[in-house]
Structure 1
Amino acid sequence: MNRPLRLFLCLFLSMLATVAAAQIEIHPLAEHAPPKPSPLGARQLGADDAAAWLDGLMPYGLKKNGLAAAVVVIVKDGQVLLAKGYGHADVAAGKPVDPATTLFRVGSISKLFTWTAVMQLVEQGKLDLDADVNRYLDFKIPPRDGKPVTLRELMTHTAGFEETIRNLFASDAQHYLGNAAWVKEWVPERVYPPGELPAYSNYGAALAGYIVQRVSGQPFDDYVEQHILQPLGMQYASFRQPLPPALAPHMALSYADADTPRPFELVNAASAGALSASGEAMARFMLAQLQGGSYNGAQILSPTTLHQTQDYSRAAVPGLRAMALGWYHMDRNGQVILGHAGDTQWFHSELALFPQQGVGVFVAIDGDDDGGLRKQLLDGFADRYFPAPPEVPQPALASARSDGALLVGRYASSRTSVSNFMAMLGLFSQVRIAQDRNGDLVTPDFHDLAGRPQHWREVAPFQWREVGGQDRLGALVEHGQVRWLSIDAVSPVMVFLPVPGWRSAAWNLPLLAVIVLVLALAALLWPVAALVRRACGKPFALPARARLWYRLSRAAAIVQLLFYAGWLWVLLRLQADIASMTSGFDGVLRLIQWLGLLAVAGIAAAAMNAWHAWRVPGSWWRKLNSLALLLACLTTLWFIGSLHLLGLHLDY
């Protein structure tokens, strides 16, 4: 190609490029958040679909379980998607639930507000999560194994406190102490090494609330109101007890059943469970937690602090759900779910956030027992809108039989009392794990101990999955020994510890039954024998001294029966009305303990009766029943000692 032609072609191509550049305009694409993937088979989460689903579930659930009312709120993408009330806030007046203004007690969901307050003060440099809490208190929390309690341990329920029940609720205004007085009334024993295992603690949350009060210089109610509720516009929410006059008319009545209202509950451990709030007020809190600590221009936590709270993870059992700082994981179907449940005597609630989806759900129910309705709602919500991907059934591991054999035995919850008479609960609530012929584990239904057994198949080393379900069971095994185990539903806040042989219900409960039977026969046969002798005209053929000890031994049997009956009544009372377990109940407990002292003294009468029966010639029946009675009375000492049925103090 000659030079002029090459020059022409270059000039021509340059002109074309110039024209093209003049005609082509580049418009950058608008920035959008990455699309949220929809799981295969998921329903589209919209207001209409959610309303239709809830309208089919909630009215039936309320009627089936004899519940008075409920509220459900769903938030999505920075706004309230749905807020619905069901049933009546006042059944007799026919007053419907208004999700915007009807207040429900939210129980332990209150703790999320306490932890938010703690993190606000951490953000300001006024609190240190890993410092000894005694730095902030005007009384002392004793060390355990030379280690103090920290706020991080309070927020993860790993401070090692045993369970506390006394004065948790107040039966009436006369017995209302308030949070500050309650935490200082007595300090529960630290029965576990700090930072090792979770044992859910209302005392720990109440203590954190008192620290907020001390460090901020404001009463806890005032602090939360000014720094959380008011900034978020939570007009229909309050920690105050009783409620302020402006809010009291909006409170749903407390129903033991769908027709019988009870008085407004007073929670002494206020920062652990005293919040009253409407559904839409809770929606504002959820939106702030989903949006970097901000809602409607109010910033209650910085994004950094919020992530510090929600991204922290501590798993008591590897592979099971973990604990964040104050929030626990409720993960399901591969979705990260953070939340908290709450229960008072007459209200039951749950809050669940799906941070990756920008979705939150809150439900509160008014009634004695929700009958599993909360679980049905939240599991159903996750399965409907964020279903699990298809799974190929996993075969059991080759190690299933040997690994499972290590777990066979009895276990007790870490959330318990061990230093006072409430240790009785630990005896009656032990969980037995067995193994079937296939190597699968068999346990009671952890969600309903009266329900059908659950079967578990090992799918990873010391990880089991419920056969036909999604629940997981795992164990922490060290040096061939089970330290503890748990299940997904409770693993963030509670584990189950192997029961030592001396505490096993496998022999303690049958022994207790035999002892009570022997005492009952001794007490009942005493008047029966007297009536038979009188009918037959036979005198009581015992020397005067032997006859005295015989009668005193029978009186001792009656006293011991009354002692056992008293503790049984306490357990039944606790199950029926925990608010009655206040300082006003101390007189009853002291009476039972006085019976215990008489029962111990009665052992001498049983011993003298046996000595007389075996010292002189007589029937073998008298010798044997005197010996049986003596052994029964002596065994009472075992139960008094092992269950702490006698004590100088009444802290429990």
Structure 2
Amino acid sequence: MHIIRKLALAFAALALPAFAQAPTELRPTLLAPKPATATSPAIAPAGPANLTKPDVDAWLDGFMPYAIAAGEIPGAVVVVVKNGQVLTKRGFGYADRKAMKPVDPDLTLFRPGSTSKLLTWTAVMQLVQAGKLDLDKDVNAYLDFKIPPAFGKPITLRNLMTHTAGFEETVKYLITANPKIVLPLDKTLKRWVPTRIYAPGAVPAYSNYGASLAGYIVERVSGEPFDDYIDRHITGPLGMTHSSFRQPLPASLAPLSSKGYEAGHEDARPFEIIPLAPAGALSSTGADMAKFMIAHLDHGGALLSPATEAKMVAPANAPVPGLPAMALGFYHEDRNGRTIVGHGGDTIYFHSDLHLYLEDGVGLFVSFNSPGKNAAAHLVRTRLFEEFTDRYFPAPVVQATTIATARDHGAAMAGHYLNTRGSLTNWLKFIGVISESTVSLNPDDTITVSSFVDAAGNPKKWREVAPWQWQEVGGVSRLHAVVRDGKVESMLSSDLPQVFLFEPAPVSMNAAWLIPALIGALAIMLLTALGWPVVALIRRSYGYRPALAGRGLQLHRATRVTAWLFLIIAAGWMIIVMSIDSNLEAFNGGLDIWMRLLQLLTLVATAGTVLACWNAYATVTTHDRRWWKYGWAVLVALAGLFLVWLLFTMRTVTLSLNY
């Protein structure tokens, strides 16, 4: 499970993930509860706390030190702004644990990860405001290379900003510590255009490539390198003097950068380089991020006109009605009746969140320099947002009643679900299968969804309070399903932004039967492979010479060799996944030669499966009365056929090694 979580982080991150940064690794959002009714009385909250520096500081002092200590997170920064001013900016723990260097909110640079995209999207909107970009024009009009046609529809900037361009997930060359393999932005984008697996505008599928494509369009249209554009038109006008997209950092900023840690008790890791820079390469201090928040809360401030700012934060896409929508770059995370927009961000080591309470002129930014123990940073930032909102902007909690269709609709929801943020044309397709979300119907007519857990890590329970709408038992999160003709097409919880969906897994990708079948097939191959030398030794010790000879003996041996090949292939892919978990650079081409070797072995094993089928036929037609003999031969042939089908269906054999 640690491997799956790490892969999810890498996806979600600008990161893996991730992934996630794993969909559950993205920062949760929550809806406001419904108004009280006669059958669902509201529990009145305590009055709001006074949003002042003394109160916020006292609250943070009671929350953050324990949270990061318990989570084994070396350091964090928290900034709150209100009415155009910094209300408080706090550093907790260490920027360099070994040197005992404390976090300074004015000087310590953190890596906001995908929160960096907000600067990229702001740059896009500046050029839209200037009349140089059209949100609804084919992006190929702005590029010096072509996004291949697909689905009969062009990709637009609006698609990129709402993550509905249809690109599949990319992991290769996502993050590296080796500057020698990093190419300029244009060459990085041209190296490989990810396959489009959805029609533009049809399905949200979060894309780092899409965000970086938008950054390159800014570069092309403005005539300025992306880093220079950000310096001159965003960080410069706002006085964000301790912020940069440049990698490595300029000499004046590099000594100020916080160290990054995979685990709080381990040594610091190298500076992370993001080849798709516009998607997540920013380094910034808490104080500088405060300036960025203040500008957007001030109707665009020095960055955008009020009209352009209003367009940027307005709901732009809501594939699951009733849940907070996606805006243009920002995602809505409305809670307690407040309109809140923001963005989360993850690298492998840094984990951040930015929230803007638009109607209240309040902003909250937090960043951690380690995921901590058991990914504690994700829980801490979620709880920080929820408790901050509930403390200063409380709302009644509604105890909604369960409606009569709960059992029938719960049964219709039960099953396995794939995340639309994934891959279908390369080996990462199998990662999507083994990380599927499951929905279960409980005896009390509630449902449980494996991807949505509470603070203790237990799956939340949901009860249906309106047709195809569920509320968290004991909480305010909502879960909605999109249903057509009585069939569930997708679902999502307000714990996550609408940058991806969960869709029912098709039969060919349903882990409910694929994983047991895979385990069974490999068990058959293992017994076959081990039985070969064991039986040979037993025969030798008793001096027994089997009658099998000629073609029959050759087929028998070929079948056993094929069993060993399948075991080697399975072990090889397992090692690759484990390498990704333990070695960041495994994403960046170092495993290519081993993948090619496994693909070659797969082709040989495919030929061996043909021979295993021949062997099964020959064994059955010999009229041998020993049923176990021909029965096992048939089982081995069927197991081989299944494994060949699975290896090709999961795209482990491909012409390209881009993923």
Structure 2 residue 249 is matched with structure 1 residue 243: yes
Structure 2 residue 645 is matched with structure 1 residue 641: no
Residue 305 of structure 1 corresponds to 308
> Which letter does structure 1 place at the counterpart of 2:66?
Y
- Does the CA-based 8 Å contact 1:178-1:270 persist in structure 2? no
> Which letter does structure 2 place at the counterpart of 1:176?
V
Residue 84 of structure 1 corresponds to 90
Q: Distance in 2 between matches of 1:591 and 1:222?
A: 43
- Does the CA-based 8 Å contact 2:177-2:271 persist in structure 1? no
> Which letter does structure 2 place at the counterpart of 1:625?
W
Residue 185 of structure 1 corresponds to 191
> Which letter does structure 1 place at the counterpart of 2:517?
L
> Which letter does structure 2 place at the counterpart of 1:266?
I
> Which letter does structure 2 place at the counterpart of 1:291?
D
Structure 2 residue 391 is matched with structure 1 residue 384: yes
> Which letter does structure 1 place at the counterpart of 2:392?
Y
Q: Distance in 2 between matches of 1:611 and 1:408?
A: 41
Cα offset, 1:613, TM superposition: 3.1
> Which letter does structure 2 place at the counterpart of 1:333?
N
Q: Distance in 2 between matches of 1:257 and 1:571?
A: 20
| Aligned-partner SS, 2:62 | helix
Cα offset, 1:450, TM superposition: 9.8
Tell me which of 276, 279, 290 is aligned to 2:283. Answer: 276
Residue 233 of structure 1 corresponds to 239
> Which letter does structure 2 place at the counterpart of 1:352?
H
Per-residue Cα deviation, 1:270-302 (whole angstroms, up to 9, x for no partner):
0001001111010100010111222xxxx1111
Residue 203 of structure 2 corresponds to 197
Structure 2 residue 67 is matched with structure 1 residue 64: no
Cα offset, 1:178, TM superposition: 3.8
> Which letter does structure 1 place at the counterpart of 2:355?
A
| Aligned-partner SS, 2:388 | helix
| Aligned-partner SS, 2:560 | helix
Q: Distance in 2 between matches of 1:60 and 1:40?
A: 24
| Aligned-partner SS, 2:87 | strand
Structure 2 residue 430 is matched with structure 1 residue 424: yes
Q: Which has the higher contact order (CA 8 A, sep 6+)?
A: 2
> Which letter does structure 1 place at the counterpart of 2:314?
D
> Which letter does structure 1 place at the counterpart of 2:642?
T
Q: Distance in 1 between matches of 2:568 and 2:300?
A: 57
Residue 443 of structure 1 corresponds to 449
Cα offset, 1:449, TM superposition: 12
Per-residue Cα deviation, 1:518-552 (whole angstroms, up to 9, x for no partner):
01111111111122222223234421443333222
Cα offset, 1:120, TM superposition: 0.5
| Aligned-partner SS, 1:242 | coil
Tell me which of 621, 637, 657 is aligned to 1:650. Answer: 657
| Aligned-partner SS, 2:452 | coil
| Aligned-partner SS, 2:237 | coil
- Does the CA-based 8 Å contact 1:317-1:491 persist in structure 2? no
Residue 3 of structure 2 corresponds to none
Structure 2 residue 212 is matched with structure 1 residue 209: no
Tell me which of 368, 376, 380 is aligned to 1:373. Answer: 380
Map 1:324-335 to 2 at 5 A: 324-335=327-338
Q: Distance in 2 between matches of 1:558 and 1:450?
A: 43
Q: Distance in 2 between matches of 1:536 and 1:174?
A: 62
Residue 8 of structure 1 corresponds to none
| Aligned-partner SS, 2:471 | strand
Per-residue Cα deviation, 1:317-361 (whole angstroms, up to 9, x for no partner):
111111111000111111111100000001000000111111101
Residue 157 of structure 1 corresponds to 163
Cα offset, 1:477, TM superposition: 1.6
CA 1:609/1:184 → structure 2, altered by over 3 Å: closer, same or farther? same
Cα offset, 1:461, TM superposition: 2.3
Cα offset, 1:484, TM superposition: 1.1
Residue 345 of structure 1 corresponds to 348
Map 1:115-130 to 2 at 5 A: 115-130=121-136
Cα offset, 1:372, TM superposition: 1.1
- Does the CA-based 8 Å contact 1:160-1:191 persist in structure 2? yes
Q: Distance in 1 between matches of 2:405 and 2:201?
A: 31
Residue 32 of structure 1 corresponds to none
Q: Distance in 1 between matches of 2:588 and 2:319?
A: 33
> Which letter does structure 1 place at the counterpart of 2:88?
L
| TM-score, normalised by the number of residues in structure 2 | 0.89
Tell me which of 354, 357, 366 is aligned to 2:357. Answer: 354
RMSD: 1.9
| Aligned-partner SS, 2:384 | helix
Per-residue Cα deviation, 1:449-475 (whole angstroms, up to 9, x for no partner):
993232111222221111111111001
| Aligned-partner SS, 1:411 | strand
Tell me which of 611, 617, 620 is aligned to 1:614. Answer: 620
Q: Distance in 1 between matches of 2:611 and 2:340?
A: 62
| TM-score, normalised by the number of residues in structure 1 | 0.90
Deviating more after overlay: 128-137 vs 453-462: 453-462
Deviating more after overlay: 317-326 vs 257-266: 257-266
Map 1:405-554 to 2 at 5 A: 405-447=411-453, 451-554=457-560
- Does the CA-based 8 Å contact 1:178-1:269 persist in structure 2? no
- Does the CA-based 8 Å contact 1:72-1:364 persist in structure 2? yes
Residue 320 of structure 1 corresponds to 323
Q: Distance in 2 between matches of 1:131 and 1:313?
A: 16
- Does the CA-based 8 Å contact 2:75-2:92 persist in structure 1? yes
Cα offset, 1:575, TM superposition: 4.0
> Which letter does structure 1 place at the counterpart of 2:190?
K
Cα offset, 1:441, TM superposition: 2.0
- Does the CA-based 8 Å contact 2:397-2:476 persist in structure 1? no
- Does the CA-based 8 Å contact 2:351-2:378 persist in structure 1? no
CA 1:618/1:530 → structure 2, altered by over 3 Å: closer, same or farther? farther
Tell me which of 239, 246, 254 is aligned to 2:260. Answer: 254
CA 1:45/1:577 → structure 2, altered by over 3 Å: closer, same or farther? farther
Cα offset, 1:480, TM superposition: 2.2
Structure 2: tracts of 5 or more residues without a match: 1-43
Cα offset, 1:621, TM superposition: 3.2
> Which letter does structure 1 place at the counterpart of 2:335?
R
Q: Distance in 2 between matches of 1:573 and 1:322?
A: 37
Cα offset, 1:491, TM superposition: 3.9
Tell me which of 50, 55, 62 is aligned to 1:49. Answer: 55
| Aligned-partner SS, 2:238 | coil
Structure 2 residue 80 is matched with structure 1 residue 74: yes
Q: Distance in 2 between matches of 1:413 and 1:432?
A: 11
CA 1:386/1:452 → structure 2, altered by over 3 Å: closer, same or farther? same
Q: Distance in 1 between matches of 2:596 and 2:350?
A: 32
> Which letter does structure 2 place at the counterpart of 1:408?
A
Map 1:277-296 to 2 at 5 A: 277-294=284-301
Cα offset, 1:488, TM superposition: 0.8
Q: Percent identity?
A: 47
Structure 1: tracts of 5 or more residues without a match: 1-37
Deviating more after overlay: 440-449 vs 245-254: 440-449
> Which letter does structure 1 place at the counterpart of 2:463?
R
